[in-house]
A = this chain, B = another copy of it.
Amino acid sequence: MSLDTILSRIDDDIDASTERLFELLRIPSISTDPAYKADCQTAADWLVSDLAALGVEAEARPTPGHPMVIGHAGEGGPHVLFYGHYDVQPVDPLELWHREPFDPEVQDGPAGKVIRARGACDDKGQLMTFLEACRAWKAVTGEWPCRITFVFEGEEESGSPSLVPFLEAHKDELSQPDIALICDTGLFDRQTPAITTMLRGLLGEEIIVTGPDKDLHSGLYGGAAANPIRVLSKILAALHDGQGRVTVPGFYDGVTELPANIQAQWDALGFDAEGFLGGVDLSVPAGETGRSVLEMIWSRPTCEFNGIVGGYAGDGFKTVLPSQARAKVSFRLVGEQDPFAIRESFRGMVKSMVPADCTVEFLNHGNSPATVMSTADPAFEKARLALSDEWPNDAAFIGSGGSIPIVGYFKEILGMDSMLIGFGLDDDLVHSPNEKYDFRSFHKGIRSWARVLDALTR
């Protein structure tokens, strides 16, 4: 067999592939709304039957929520776990859709054909790129490229409540693969594929400063009584220095510089920092002096203020001197930064800034360390080269400023690294009305997986 034959088969079969995706898109599997519970089951069953058609031993396993579709196929070679999710976001507000969300259609768009439907990209279209690649492979070779474990979740859009217990209960079965392939991310841009290898961690804290034991009249007490908003402002203002660095003692412990090869790939991306900030009406990078915008959002840790409240904040004016003020503060973590050590250091720093007659409480809003895939594993470079063969530009190992919980669960529970490869674009309107998936993403996505599977099995 040759890869070219498989790629040709993919091209020849693309209409049938699209029709199969449409079948799945027509099922309104909205996981968060109990009214669609049966539809989630229908989508799971559809996947089981599509896997069965490929000869996979698959089943929809019940959970307290929606079923988890598990299938095992192939033998020999590397063992990969493929993850996707068959549930979709709600469609409200429905009146903003130009077409019924569960009646998919190929439409002409300004940048080529698009598949329009809820879930077209997130995640049914992406998920099917992998299944269609397997189908072509099987059709041409009569065999599976390697051992593959399929995991299709039905609760990704509603917080994955059943996922962790399920992974823990099926640890023996699911921790066998060498690596997880996850198709729920995007291209870097229309020309440039990407493998996300760095995900920032997150530490969430809330500071509650209490001064006087009740709200006071600012005329009667103003000047003499501690004002918690003033105390809180001083604390927040002290958390970054003049160079935009975070001042929490020890904060940068475990933060390392980007490896030279990754740095070179990022430089080659030609990231449009001006356009990125300009898209939200900004122009001045707000992070550390001397760092690029890409570093600021992918590889550098941050301290952000997500919310603040205190005193009277309604219309008009009230001369109140408030008893309390509070702020939600989050830290994005990278490399080996230790969330627990940072929490302790942060709280110590804050406490040291609170006057003797004020008190401070903290609420813990969770923490997760950063995830950095070991790109030294040859699978990563193999996949990167395979993607580079399919797309106009070379693929890059990129970072992601946010966190993707499934990656952490696979790492913690199954002891497995993930390779995040996806073909979404920023304009796919994921979670919004009129979601779409570029037809080119779907077609070249299928071809990409065939190339990646070929590379991984060499």
Contacts and interface: CB of A to CB of B under 8 A. Distances in A.
A322 B238 CA distance: 19
Contacts of A327: 229
Given A224-B296, A316-B365, A318-B328, 9 more contacts: A212-B282, A220-B401, A222-B304, A223-B304, A224-B286, A225-B286, A237-B238, A308-B309, A311-B328
A356 B285 CA distance: 11
A1 interface: no
Nearest to A365: B317
A429 interface: no
Contacts of A321: 304, 306
Given A322-B306, A355-B284, A219 B400 contact: yes
Interface in A307-340: 307-314, 316-322, 325-328, 330, 332
A153 to B, nearest CB: 21
Nearest to A359: B281
A28 interface: no
Contact of A282 (B223, B225, B280, B319): B225
A202 interface: yes
Nearest to A301: B223
Contacts of A273: 224
A233 interface: yes
**Which of A220, A221, A226, A365 is packed against the most chain B CB atoms within 10 Å?**
A221
**Which of A222, A224, A281 is packed against the most chain B CB atoms within 10 Å?**
A224
**Which of A212, A213, A328 is packed against the most chain B CB atoms within 10 Å?**
A328
A230 interface: yes
A403 interface: yes
B305 A356 contact: no
A217 B306 CA distance: 10
Interface string A210-245: 011110111111111111011011101110100000
Interface of A: 200, 202, 204, 206, 211-214, 216-227, 229-230, 232-234, 236-238, 240, 273, 276-277, 280-287, 293, 296-297, 300-302, 304-314, 316-322, 325-328, 330, 332, 355-358, 365-366, 400-403
Given A219-B202, A224-B277, A280-B214, A233 B309 contact: no
A321 to B, nearest CB: 6
Contacts of A206: 317
Contacts of A221: 280, 297, 401
A219 B402 contact: yes
Contacts of A314: 307
Contacts of A287: 223-224
B312 A224 contact: no
Contacts of A282: 211-212, 225-226, 357-358
A34 to B, nearest CB: 22
Given A212-B281, A313-B307, A317-B204, A222 B355 contact: no
Given A307-B318, A321-B306, A213 B281 contact: yes
A296 B401 contact: no
In order of increasing CB-CB distance, the 8 nearest A-B pairs are: A219-B402, A237-B237, A307-B311, A309-B313, A233-B236, A213-B281, A229-B305, A223-B296
Nearest to A325: B308
